Structure 1
Amino acid sequence: MAHYFEERPETASRPGSVTLVLPDLHLKLETDSGTFSPERVDQGTRILLESVPPPPPGGDLLDLGCGYGPIALTMASRAPRATVWAVDVNRRSVELCARNARTAALDKVRSMHVDEVPPEIRFSAIWSNPAIRIGKAAMHQMLSRWLTRLTPDGVAYLVVQKHLGSDSLQRWLNEQGWPTDRTASRSSYRVLAVRAGREADRAG
């Protein structure tokens, strides 16, 4: 069985499109099989985008697990002076996100594989609908890798379903030194706000 978190999905290409409608935004996005939620914008993603405060107006922002780009393009639309790094392990997703950004004339979206982001970049905001289904150990490793790259005043917003472990993830994040609060709860989804931990304070 193919998974959307594989680097090169073996699923045959089946191009499609979805529409993302938010109070401040209307985007038509190209999709394809082998990517996350190709037939509709995922409910968790929509709840995240409807719940989070505006991103910082400038600097570097991160969409972790960008898929075909609904989060990255929303960040770029709401913060036109910021550089939005849209990253994924899935090469098909990365290509789609880049195409969707070009179509929307959002030229400050940089879509790339997770291992291609320059190591010196620090993020003032991270928005993510993380791939919980990769497993707890892999999820913890992924979050540890990127949360340490928050600026000292940076905040990450994660949307996670309750039955997929949002409450235990919140406890783990707090235990690891990233102060985490629930900022929204709707339709079994939780939006967690994660603040920079001790590493960012030392780096800053």
Structure 2
Amino acid sequence: MSHYFTQPSAAEKRRSVDVRFWDTDWRFTTANEVFSADGLDLGTGVLLRSATPPADATRLLDLGCGWGVLAVALATACPGAVVDAVDVNPRALSLCADNARAHGVADRVRPMLPDAADPAVRYDEIWSNPPIRIGKDALHELLLTWLPRLAPHGVARLVVGRNLGADSLQRWLIDQGWACERTASAKGFRVFAVHRATS
């Protein structure tokens, strides 16, 4: 079985999916061998229902963008923001670009591989349904790479399945010196707000 965090091996088969969040109906294009190809996954839906980005944000990150639902949502909600949409799956990046174009935000959504992101950029917010299934060590490395790129008062909004170790991840983040608060819990998922701890 091919995983969404590996290189796609089968021919691309695209489809359209309809989703609703923030009191708006949206249509996106997805394809096989990307995360949640059949529609909006439960975790990302919980994340979108739990928060909205600050309208005055200027730089945002969708970490593990998949077909781009968070990137498009963030760019639409924050008309002055540039959104870096990062993923390791080239098919996902192509879909993200096409969905951004379809929703009129392609000029501000920048799909890219992780190494293409400027490490000097500081983000007002990071939104992510992180790829828990890559394994604990890889996940920790991922978070330790990207969380330090938050602006001084920035916030990372993460959604993690309770049965996939959400509570232990929260403890680990706190042990690493981050403030990590649970802001929502629904459908077996926890939503965390992560920011620099104040001394």
TM-score interval, smaller chain: over 0.9
> Per-residue CA shift, 1:116-139, capped at 9, x if unaligned?
111211101000000000000000
Give the match for residue 178 of structure 2: 178
Equivalent pair of 1:44/1:161 in contact (CA under 8 Å): yes
> Per-residue CA shift, 1:52-75, capped at 9, x if unaligned?
133352321000000001111111
Equivalent pair of 1:56/1:124 in contact (CA under 8 Å): no
Q: Is 1:132 the equivalent of 2:144?
A: no
Equivalent pair of 2:64/2:87 in contact (CA under 8 Å): yes
User: TM-score normalised to the size of structure 1?
Assistant: 0.93
Question: What pairs with 1:143-154 in structure 2 (closer than 5 Å)?
Answer: 143-154=143-154
The residue type paired with residue 168 of structure 2 is: S
User: TM-score normalised to the size of structure 2?
Assistant: 0.95
CA-CA distance at 1:148 after TM superposition: 0.7
Cα RMSD after superposing both structures? 1.4
Equivalent pair of 2:53/2:125 in contact (CA under 8 Å): no
Q: Aligned partners of 2:173 and 2:165: how far apart in 1?
A: 12
Q: Aligned partners of 1:54 and 1:24: how far apart in 2?
A: 15
Name stretches of at least 5 consecutive residues in structure 2 with no aligned partner.
none
Tell me the percent identity: 48
Q: Aligned partners of 1:22 and 1:145: how far apart in 2?
A: 30
Q: Aligned partners of 2:97 and 2:61: how far apart in 1?
A: 14
Q: Which moved more, 1:19-28 or 1:83-92?
A: 19-28
CA-CA distance at 1:197 after TM superposition: 5.2
Give the match for residue 123 of structure 1: 123
Q: Aligned partners of 1:113 and 1:197: how far apart in 2?
A: 29
Name stretches of at least 5 consecutive residues in structure 1 with no aligned partner.
none
Q: Aligned partners of 1:108 and 1:59: how far apart in 2?
A: 10
> Per-residue CA shift, 1:146-192, capped at 9, x if unaligned?
00100110000000000000000000000001110100000110001
Give the match for residue 9 of structure 1: 8
